[in-house]
Amino acid sequence: MREVDFHSHTLFSRCGLHSVIEMLTHAKRAGLKGLAITDHGPMLKGSTPSTFFDRLGQPLDGITMLKGMECNIKNDDGEIDFPLPHLKFADIVLLGLHPGNAPGLSRERYTSLMLRALEKNPFVDIVTHPEDPAFPLDLGQLADYARDHGIALEINNSKALYKRFQVKETVALIEACKKAGCRVAVDSDAHAFQEIGLDSSVLPLLEQAKFPRELIVNATAEGAFGFVEERRKIKKEFIKI
């Protein structure tokens, strides 16, 4: 189980089952030191209110809440659906391809779309479930870009747990990251409290690949919070532009 989980959904996402406080309470009971609340952006009808970002402090003693969002690519120009006024309050920003993005494009087109979005929005910290076969990406090219720009690619436990992806697809992602020397974040993508912090469906794949522990940004709580602080500098620079 991860001590810090960078990907979870609450009732603010249409797919989440519990409130922010319920998710944090369970995470604390499970022994986590930090949990990122990363509900979907407006394109997927996420309804995170502005008050979550600019008014809510740390609501529960004994665990750190990280404020974030799992964003979507809006168009070919690389715009994403993160509300920029909230950026100064955000700890972690995720970006992934989801239903609602253009279906049936080629690997080259999806890769170009993702790289353009990352280039235009350098405050994105983690690319979620990049091995999704519905939105094929050139994993080697993406891993090289992520390495060069301090971004992490996600190893998503939920997709493996519920067999949304084939094992070979996640293995291909792990191997691409290992070859590139690209950092990864092992996340639960929890939509229900019992999924928070889980890594048991992907940990054996990382171990089998002998994936370097130092490339896992949330291998330890200290490393996870260090990653957040490192990436916070990028956000501050972007806000100044």
What is residue 103's predicted lDDT score, i.e. its pLDDT?
86
What is residue 179's predicted lDDT score, i.e. its pLDDT?
98
Two tokens, residue 148: 């060069």
Question: Would you say domain 4-240 falls under CATH 2.40.50.140?
Answer: no
Domain boundaries, the chain: 4-240
pTM of the full structure: 0.97
Question: Within 10 Å of residue 48's Cβ, how many Cβ atoms?
Answer: 22
What is residue 102's predicted lDDT score, i.e. its pLDDT?
80
Rounded to 5°, angle at Cα 50 from 4 and 15? 60
Bridge partners, residue 38, by sequence: 68
What is residue 100's predicted lDDT score, i.e. its pLDDT?
77
Residues (pLDDT < 50) of the chain are none
Residue-wise DSSP of the chain: --SEE--B--TTSTT--S-HHHHHHHHHHTT-SEEEEEEE-GGGT----HHHHHT----STTSEEEEEEEE-B-STT--B---GGGGGG-SEEEE---BTBPTT--HHHHHHHHHHHHHH-TT--EE--TT-TTS---HHHHHHHHHHHT-EEEEEHHHHHTTSS-HHHHHHHHHHHHHHT--EEEE--BSSGGGTT--TTTHHHHHHTT--GGGBTTSSHHHHHHHHHHHHHHHHHHHH-
What is residue 32's predicted lDDT score, i.e. its pLDDT?
98
